[in-house]
Structure 1
Amino acid sequence: MSSTEISELQRTIGQLRQCVAALRGRYGDIPAVRRLVNDIERLDIDSSEFSGTPSTPVPRNPVEAEVVVVPDTPYDPALWQGADDEGVGGYQR
């Protein structure tokens, strides 16, 4: 976010703060006004975090995947001795 955008955001939050203060003067300290005050405080906190972050996102370092070599040779038939084929109904004995 550029400094112009951050300044505009902070100015707009200030305007919201003034509007909510006017609502508080008119309606008092009702729950809806307290929630709005809380929301503005959260917006102010979140907008202040932008000034500490870089303007462009930092790319992540690519993770090297471990390569697993699968041989092309056939498996030992003894490995499958006594196993049933799923979905076929098993071997007939």
Structure 2
Amino acid sequence: MSTTTELAELHELIGNLRRCVTSLRARYGDAPAMRRIVNDAERMLNDIDRLDIDAAELEMRGTPAHPRPTEKVTIPDTDYASDFWQGVDDEGLGGSR
């Protein structure tokens, strides 16, 4: 199934959610539990809107947003010069070097 089809199905389900919440709200009114349900549904709808924005931004290609670097950087195993760490706190041990 393509991403476009999946998003269309998701929007159909969201439409069903809206109808159900509207029906429940008409039945139970403005009770605290109903307000929580409405708030939860609104959060889900907002998340779906963000999903649409992200899918459009990625052009629904399924490719990573950050391509892997083509050049490898070699990091030497030798110690750094002692003045490199001067004045830096080593938070892992609680002291300074």
* TM-score, length of structure 1 as denominator length: 0.59
Is 2:17 aligned against 1:24?
no
1:61 match: 68
- Which runs of 5 or more structure 2 residues have no equivalent in the other structure? 80-97
When residues 10 and 65 of structure 1 are mapped into structure 2, their CA distance, relative to the original with a 3 A threshold, is farther
When residues 46 and 66 of structure 1 are mapped into structure 2, their CA distance, relative to the original with a 3 A threshold, is same
Greater fraction of residues in strand: 2
Using CA pairs below 8 Å that are at least 6 residues apart, which structure has the higher relative contact order?
1
* TM-score, length of structure 2 as denominator length: 0.57
What fraction of aligned residue pairs are identical, expressed as a percent? Answer: 39
Secondary structure, counterpart of 2:53 in structure 1: coil
User: Following TM superposition, by how much is the alpha carbon of 1:69 offset from its aligned partner in structure 2, in angstroms?
Assistant: 3.6
Q: Which runs of 4+ in 1 moved over 6 A?
A: none
Secondary structure, counterpart of 1:33 in structure 2: helix
Aligned residues: 70
Q: Could you tell me how far apart the structure 1 residues matched to 2:18 and 2:50 are?
A: 19
Any idea what the Cα deviations from partners look like across 1:17-58, whole Å, max 9, x if unmatched?
Answer: 111111111111112211111111111111112223223151
Secondary structure, counterpart of 1:26 in structure 2: helix
When residues 7 and 60 of structure 1 are mapped into structure 2, their CA distance, relative to the original with a 3 A threshold, is same
- Which runs of 5 or more structure 1 residues have no equivalent in the other structure? 71-93
* Equivalent residues in 2 for 1:75-90, closer than 5 Å: none
